[in-house]
Amino acid sequence: MLDAGRRINQPLRILTWHVHGSYLYYLSQLPHQFYVPVKPGRPEGYGGRSPGRAWPANLHEVDADRVRHLTLDAVIFQSPGPYERDQYDLLTEAQRALPYIYLEHDPPRGQPTDTHHLIDDPSVLLVHVTHFNALMWDNGRTPVQVICHGVAVPPGVSFTGEIPRGLVVVNDLRSRGRRLGLDIFERVRSQIPLDLVGMGSRPLGGLGEIPPERLAAFMARYRFFFNPIRYTSLGLAVCEAMAVGVPIIGLATTEMPSVIRNGVSGYIYTDVEQMIRRMRELLARPDRAKALGEGARRYASAHFSLARFARDWELALAAAAQLRPSRNETVRAGGLNEQADRAYK
């Protein structure tokens, strides 16, 4: 893993895209100025400051055709389209010489051990959000850094477990099928009382979408959080539930075995019947659920703090600047070429 060993001591101006709203919200908690391009009709990836979330003042919308007029210090890509298309359509040659980071949110969707990542460039920093993802991708020549999630929950919100049901938080579960665990959810729901929330949940009998600012308090009332997902990245909702103090039950796949310890913060298995037995146990024993939830809260406090998240991103931005020193020399008007020596220590 790449460690530049230098810190940023002044705010940077960073271009990125709206790909995952929750992640963008936490990324924008960093002490930098973020710019997100928007297009007419706000298609996917260009939603900007979408409604329903209290975006901070340092996250700015900019019309896509005005991006070339921005003075920037770095660019963070988060999906293939902007990297393959927008950097040539929206950015100037000077902007394309800035430090580049590609933030990869997911494990490979193809062959899970031999899929080459889109980025194969020693001058670009590839950031993975879990160690599992970094392990499974073939990252080629690209330098890699892992930045685990950082989350925060409203002060005073903590686990009560008063609702003797499990909570599932998955967007568009019906359309995303087996990978997100639709069949597992339906199998478990036939035996265990579960509530599903998220975008597109109502066709499955779910409760609909819960506003982000209300989700932590909503989760806190449930006896346990159930994650039925077979194969994806570690969900921010899992991290937030842990931060609230909700015990987690899920599949022992992807990054989950690194996060959930059986009998300490919840239970994870590849045997669905084992999960069902543990759910019944927590429904019958609220004291046990509370103890496991406290273990989950302790883990989240130690591993998912925004302070640690911000420090890791500082190192990543500094590392990205070091990967393009010769290109930085050609950029003017406030780019990192002019401030690398004074902005990173």
Contact 128, 78 (CB under 8 A): no
Q: Do 143 and 251 fall into the same domain?
A: no
Same domain, 233 and 294: yes
Length of the chain: 345
- Tell me, yes or no, whether 174 and 243 share the same domain: yes
CB of 143 within 8 A of CB of 125? yes
Does the pLDDT at position 270 exceed 80? yes
pLDDT value of residue 9: 63
What is the value of pTM for the model shown?
A: 0.90
Say yes or no to pLDDT of 2 above 70: no
Residues 277 and 318 in one domain: no
In this model, does residue 277 exceed pLDDT 90? yes
d(CA 165, CA 283): 7
Q: CATH no. for residue 131?
A: 3.40.50
Separation CA 298–CA 102 (nearest Å) = 31
> Is 7 a domain residue?
no
Asked if 338 and 285 sit in the same domain, the reply is no
Give the three-class secondary structure for 127: strand
180-234 residue pLDDT tens:
999 999 999 999 999 999 999 999 999 999 999 999 999 999 999 999 999 999 9
pLDDT for 314 equals 96
Is residue 155 one of the residues assigned to a domain?
no
* Same-domain check for residues 277 and 299: yes
pLDDT at 6: 46
**pLDDT score at 51:** 86
Same domain, 67 and 108: yes
Indicate whether 111 and 98 sit together in one domain: yes
> Tell me, what's the pLDDT at 7?
52
User: What's the mean pLDDT when you consider all of the chain?
Assistant: 91
Q: Are 148 and 130 in contact (CB under 8 A)?
A: yes
Mean pLDDT of 157-174: 97
The CATH number linked to 205 is 3.40.50.2000
- Asked if residues 100 and 324 have their Cβ atoms less than 8 Å apart, the reply is yes
Q: Does residue 2 form part of some domain?
A: no
In a domain, 91, yes or no: yes
Q: Where is average pLDDT lowest: 97-106, 111-120, 291-300, 332-341?
A: 332-341
For residue 318, the enclosing domain spans 13-150+305-343
Q: Which residue has the tokens 């290109």?
A: 327
What average pLDDT does the segment 78-91 reach? 96
Report CA 169 to chain centroid distance, whole Å: 14
**Mean pLDDT, residues 56-66 taken together:** 96
Q: What's residue 112's pLDDT?
A: 84
Task: Answer yes or no: do 78 and 207 share one domain.
Answer: no
Q: Is residue 99 part of a domain?
A: yes
Residues 60 and 181 in one domain: no
Count of the separate structural domains present in the chain: 2
Instruction: Determine the pLDDT at residue 339.
Output: 37
What's the CA gap between 304 and 109, in Å, rounded?
26
Same domain, 169 and 290: yes
